[in-house]
Amino acid sequence: LFLRSILRNQETCLHTAMKIARFIFRLFGINTYVVWDDATRKAAVIDPGMSSREEEEALKHFLEREKLTVVALINTHMHVDHACGNGFIISEYGVKLSAHPADEPLGRKVRQQAQIFMLDFVPREAEISTYLKDGDIIEIGEGRLTVLHVPGHSPGGIALYDEQDHFVISGDSLFQGSIGRTDFEGGDHQQLVEAVKEKLLSLPDETVVYPGHGNPTTIAAEKRHNPFLQ
């Protein structure tokens, strides 16, 4: 199944803000995001979860229709549902993969992950070319994403924070009313809770959270209502 929705389109008096589109792909309902700078039409693909030719074509059609130039490929972590489309993006757009080095072992096991979950396809493996660390700035045209290291769901889990436009792409660290599961390889529940509180709940209350699965939420809502973070 495939669904696309434009989630954010803000403007300030100084410049056109970054825009974000969400694609919901069939593999575990993964949210794949395209973030782009409207002024330059430069874009990043984040957590490509396409597992069929139909889904690849849907993403490609959107990028062509919006006249976007893909300049970055980013994984918030390297579980198979977030990484299975890496090979397509790399081969189609000539970009290289950026992710946290602590998740490199997971990336090397993406085909093994697919076998464990008895998936009906074999994902293409992709090596990390650019190691991201906490505090790094990723420039997308005139837009900027700050890397926040949020380990616990996986050792190298990151979130991507746009301070200018008040949103964060949280991967599988923080969901609406929940947090990521920690029973996978390298998971650590206490580490995840502490990292979410330190790196994400410290963001401004109005920050919109775009998670790896499920619907958007806000930092304020998760502070008040998330039972895992009280």
Task: For Cα atoms 121, 109, 77, give the angle at the middle one, nearest 5 degrees.
Answer: 95
Does residue 89 contact residue 98 with C-beta atoms inside 8 Å? no
Picking from 158, 182, 191, 162, the residue whose alpha carbon sits closest to that of residue 75 is: 158
pLDDT of residue 113: 78
Q: What is the pLDDT of residues 38-70, one digit of tens each?
A: 999 999 999 999 999 999 999 999 999 999 999
Does residue 126 contact residue 83 with C-beta atoms inside 8 Å? yes
Q: What is the pLDDT of residues 83-114, one digit of tens each?
A: 999 999 999 999 999 999 999 998 888 888 77
**Average predicted confidence (pLDDT) for the chain:** 90
pTM beyond cutoff 0.85: yes
Question: Is 90 exceeded by the pLDDT of residue 11?
Answer: no
